[in-house]
Structure 1
């Protein structure tokens, strides 16, 4: 049933490399099959899988399918057997009419590589049509004086089959007056003619009934019949004669309905009824009878419906002219139809990629479509373009197939979808065009890392923040989509003062919100640096990082700390000495304080909160110096108590108070005398305190005198040795003490020519005689500790590179 023939008797195949060396199409000639018409649906046509070099299962895997050129699909693929089968009833006569060879062409598309293979199937004729006459009855009028041997043309039968299955012979029913002769035309058509064998006698027999049978050559043979009515009339020795043996006219296909195409004309030399000529169709199909009209009186041929070049490019028929007596003659009429550009091109999208990755390189086929135009000639020549400036180009494949190919690299972040308008235009005048939309979606690839708006951020957070508080939020943006744009955040592992940064800060991996894991202390550290890294969820993932500078803002959480006078650890109160002869403004002592905070929170101010003698003393607002506000009077008490408050400038402000006890006396003996003159209170504990104080003062005085004598002797020995120094006038000078404030804050403490600190409690008395010069720098209590010796030793120390200082305590 099937054979495979290589077009042009080629035995090999030719490979043509196209599409920048990445796409190949193989053409090995048309694959040719044969199949008989009228076969059942699903009938085997050919092993298409074998002829394509594939296994049957590969037909589905590689997307092999049939693409036709706009006609009804007659065949289909059987993926199980890998064969080409019929998809319905095939009528050869409907497809190819009377053509000797009936070929059906279509293409096989292998979608994975977008290769096309031309297929040609020849439809073999079977004897499924019997010969038939166009009319059931043929009427013939014969003059009674017709001579034997006169021939009368008969309407031939038609058979839609071809070859031996077509019309082969005619047979006339037996008659003694008539016989049948069959003539063959140039095109092989057989024309039956009725031959008069004997002279007719109208009076003997006016009408003769005959039967004409047509037979084809099929097995079994099929036949068709028509009746012949021969009417014998009186003598009419002239027949009509057409002015032309063949009439021809050329008209465009868009002529209006009812348009006069041509006029046939025949002349009969007879007179009267025998000379009256009427016109009618002699040989015409039922379809043409619905399209054309022939006036029986005038011979005008006009249209009954619109003409269509695409259905038929010409129409051929025969007309007859008959006089009143029955004599007739025939003439052929040929109507040629000119094509008019009345059909717009058609675009059939055969295959299109629904989604194209943005990293697709140039030269990749993303769509295949077919162009056709039902018109012919220039009117049917179609070109395809698109007007937009797009990263694609068109390439023509075989026949009128076109490919849409990538011409540039795609970028989804710029254009995620392309709506391409394909414009198909024919070559007619004026040209007709058709627009077809193709939507190409660009799928995302992970080609963009997350990005932060800034390269670094500064975060300000007050100290003593609550644990778990949100302190900042970082946001990165990724122009990709879906998983490629899903961002997670993490801290870059680092250490701050030997502690992992993750111990201080945590981050929400989804939102980028930073949380403080603990409460920050400005006094511990003021700033820290950390990095946040943002990862997307692509494959492979991309990332970027940003620097965060976290600044801890100071809060007023530390009250001022009193450095001087130092509070005794035994709970006693220090005593300062002020000469009774001191003038107003005399510096009595100086309160030195520091604040661990910074900025305004560490700005300190001093004021007197409480005094035993109002108006006697004043304190410097910013220096903390306690000075006499007026001269001492006799009525002023020996022992003066002052409460000094030190307050910072924070919000709210914090403060600390210190109580100072000032002893008013011109000299130490006066102190002792005055202390002895103080009335002893009735309380026995106060008596003990006074007694201890007196004993302590006396002891200290003795020790002081010994110290002065020893110091004077040393001075004289150095003077004698150097011969350069003069004897001192008895003044005592000790190097200045230096006091360094906390955290770099330096305060200045002045010492005085005479300063006595008295500390009295129930057990002991404590007197300090500081140096007679001023001290400009305060040494921190943490840096330099006091010496345990008071008068028996002088301790010179260097504290962190500072000048030597003398500290005397007991």
Structure 2
């Protein structure tokens, strides 16, 4: 146990604001975190909770601030005078949390008026108040004098309930001429000692001797525990026992019955007679594990002595020693992992209840605070909390296993003065376990009924080009009051849409709730907008409610397709696509690209070949716009071909656009140039022809001749495309096989 000096260490306070939520101003939640060392004296101050929560004297006076008691053990007290949080009784971290890495105490503090709940976590820090201890006391070893150098002997581990550096860190062995010490670590992180023979023994010269094994923790100052090792040297036994496995790993259900077989360890010995007779015993096992498990010394079978509980301990690690009749031993480790079973039903605790509540309580008003817990882990410990869905309430998950029961709809005391709300907490085990708790809630009368819309959100669909002044939708609200209090008037709340006041788009009949369009809508300019409608009764004071109407403009087919490619040239010019004479059936010539500003079916485009110089020579994909050859080019076919393509949308009625395309069959630009240049013989035509003749000569100069010294093969030169300057041609989206569209 730590002395007063350690208890008087300074308290580290951490007060981060982890969670802040507020439902209609009726409840707020903050998470306050403190950190203190264990073993603090009763009455020690943890922190000024009122100051850390920024509460004033009125909020903490008259017993208004107190710790929420849920039947759990209370380790702290709260002063109602100054808001200080004090230690109520001595806290032993090892007793509270065992070997859990993070040890904390969670509780809730409530301010009654207005109701606020604050979550407080006090982390208990470990101090070095335990020294390492060898559970089995002194160690006795019988070692054959024929044991070879390097033979190991398990010494076991000491236990230290402290954590971190305060826990067991190392072992030391007293100075001797025969043995050295190795410190090893188990799967669970705990360290144990192994004695290694460094010099062969001689029973005749020294038949027995004693060593001291010291276990040290990492505290400052460090604490130690010691054990004596009594070594007896015996005559030679040639073969030690050998386990079939170094480590036996077992997964065991926590609900395994007493007497169940857990695992059987097995060792063999090549000797004969008494030297081959093996007995088994635990050589290094924690006390709690020794209470739970039994090892048959003859068979090596480990059986269950007491019921297991996953919620208390999840894993057990132990060492088993096999000893033959000559005193030679072997060791193995047994690691048992428990599998959680869904053997704990959820616990439901009503932490706080506001009853009665007024019938005009806003949606989201806090009714009750409910705490749920499940001692199982994994899915077995995950809880969902719910109530009857027919009630005007809902459950909302909060922090630290808390649920809030909130109003989910307006209440009416004249219709239902009392509710019996059954809270169902169900875990996710298989099969799941459930717990039920019924809450009785009284409703107090308030004479106020607001107009209520049929639903808070509406959607109205209006086709574009609608007549100005036509009705497009109707909203309706009802009021259970009578006479003047039930006379409802409707209005549209002013706002700005598309830079214009909403009144320029819509109007509403104040008596019927019918909404009218003030203008004709254009889908391509405005596709949707929202309007907030208010219903107000004639009572005093006036009560009102709002609903949102989303107005969606429906597209009409009022936009014709627009052809992006091939683009039409300036007046008097034509667009040519060059097609190789050797093109086979299915050759992709080009692609017609078109768009439609409409949407949906109105923007679905189809492509048709209306006219062709040579029918049957070309085809067009009805959905892709791809123009392909339907057969190979024949000598009788005209070199120049003209196609007229129709692009039509899917509207009703459909709209369309056409485009013409000139094609020239040629293997290269020089071959195509005379055909492209063949125009009516006038001076302007002659000038254009001379221009393209010069252009053709320029292309010849741009071709790269084959060069045997350049490292390129003749084949590379043969397939190289002419380097055509971009200023002389316009590029198609489907340039391939060396053909270029050319505009004249």
Cα pair distance change 1:197/1:253, threshold 3 Å:
closer
Tell me how far apart the structure 2 counterparts of residues 188 and 427 of structure 1 sit (CA, whole Å): 31
CA distance in 1, matches of 2:169, 2:255: 39
Residue number in structure 1 paired with 2:90: 89
Does residue 185 in structure 1 map to residue 188 in structure 2?
no
Partner of 1:500: none
Per the TM alignment, residue 163 of structure 1 is displaced from its structure 2 partner at its CA by 3.8
Partner of 1:638: none
Deviates more, 1:109-118 or 1:140-149: 109-118
Contact residue 154 and residue 331 of structure 2 kept, 8 A: no
Provide the secondary structure at the position in 2 that maps to 1:379: helix
Bigger-Rg structure (1/2): 1
For 1:395, the equivalent position in structure 2 comes to 396
Partner of 1:462: none
Q: Which residue of 2 aligns with 1:550?
A: none
Q: Which residue of 2 aligns with 1:375?
A: 376
Change beyond 3 A, Cα 1:313–1:153: closer
1:96-154 CA-partner distances (Å, limit 9, x unpaired): 43455544444444444544444333322222111100111211011123356654331
Name the CA distance, whole Å, in 1 between partners of 2:97 and 2:395. Answer: 35
Q: Look up the match of 2:347.
A: 346
Structure 1 residue 266, shift from structure 2 partner: 1.2
SS of the residue corresponding to residue 156 of structure 2 reads: coil
Distance of aligned partners of 1:328 and 1:2 in 2 relative to their CA distance in 1, 3 Å threshold: same
Deviations 1:177-203 (A, max 9, x none): 545524243776543344556654434
The secondary structure found in structure 2 opposite 1:334 is strand
| Structure 1 residues 327 and 170: CA distance shift in structure 2, 3 A | same
After superposition, what is the alpha-carbon deviation per residue over 1:672-695, rounded to whole angstroms, capped at 9, x for unaligned?
xxxxxxxxxxxxxxxxxxxxxxxx
What pairs up with 1:181-580 in 2 under 5 angstroms? 181-185=181-185, 189-196=190-197, 199-358=200-359, 360-387=361-388, 389-408=390-409, 410=411, 416-443=417-444
Post-superposition shift, 1:292? Answer: 1.2
**Partner residue of 2:11?**
2
Distance of aligned partners of 1:320 and 1:32 in 2 relative to their CA distance in 1, 3 Å threshold: same
Q: Any idea what the Cα deviations from partners look like across 1:595-636, whole Å, max 9, x if unmatched?
A: xxxxxxxxxxxxxxxxxxxxxxxxxxxxxxxxxxxxxxxxxx
Q: Deviations over 1:428-457 (max 9, x none)?
A: 22221111122223446689xxxxxxxxxx
The separation in 1 between residues aligned to 2:302 and 2:441, in whole angstroms, is: 55
CA distance in 2, matches of 1:373, 1:14: 23
What does 1:532-681 align with in structure 2 at a 5 Å threshold?
none
Distance in 2, matches of 1:390 and 1:196, equals: 77
Maintained 8 Å contact 2:278/2:325: yes
- CA shift at 1:380, angstroms? 2.0
For 2:670, the equivalent position in structure 1 comes to none
- Measured in 2, the distance between the counterparts of 1:353 and 1:235 equals 82
Please give the per-residue CA displacement for 1:372-391, whole angstroms capped at 9, x wherever unaligned.
22222322222222338444
1:52 Cα shift?
A: 0.7
Aligned to 1:121: 122
Q: Any gaps of 5 or more consecutive residues in structure 1?
A: 448-810
> Structure 2 CA distance, aligned partners of 1:116 and 1:394?
17
Structure 1 residues 358 and 168, CA, compared in 2 at 3 Å: closer, same or farther? closer
Q: Is the 8 A contact 1:13 1:26 kept in 2?
A: no
What TM-score, normalized by structure 1, do the two folds share?
0.49
Query: In 1, distance between residues paired with 2:275 and 2:72?
Result: 53
- Which residue of 2 is the match for residue 39 of structure 1? 40
Cα displacement string for residues 56-110 of structure 1 (whole angstroms, at most 9, x for unaligned residues): 6633558444458886433332233322222222112223434555444444444
**C-alpha separation in 1, matches of 2:335 and 2:70:** 30
Q: Which deviates more from structure 2 when the two are superposed, residues 354-363 or residues 308-317?
A: 354-363
Distance 1:312 1:100 in 2: 14
Q: CA 1:441–1:231 in structure 2 vs 1: closer, same or farther (change >3 Å)? A: same
Query: Are positions 1:25 and 2:28 aligned together?
Result: yes
Secondary structure of 1:374 counterpart: coil
2:196, 2:100 → 1: CA distance? 32
Instruction: Tell whether 2:131 aligns with 1:130.
Output: yes
Query: How many residues matched?
Result: 439
> Aligned with 2:94: secondary structure?
helix
What's the CA shift for 1:367? 0.8
Looking at structure 2, the residues matched to 425 and 188 of structure 1 have their Cα atoms a distance apart, in angstroms, of: 36
Taking a change above 3 Å as real, the CA distance of residues 281 and 92 of structure 1, as seen in their structure-2 partners, is same
3-state SS of 1:273 partner: helix
Task: Assess if the C-alpha contact under 8 Å between 1:281 and 1:294 holds in 2.
Answer: yes
The whole-number CA distance in structure 2 between the counterparts of 1:101 and 1:403 is 27
* Alpha-carbon separation, structure 2, partners of 1:195 and 1:362: 74
Which of 201-210 and 283-292 deviates more? Answer: 201-210
Unaligned runs of 5+ in 2: 1-9, 449-744
TM-score by length of 2: 0.54
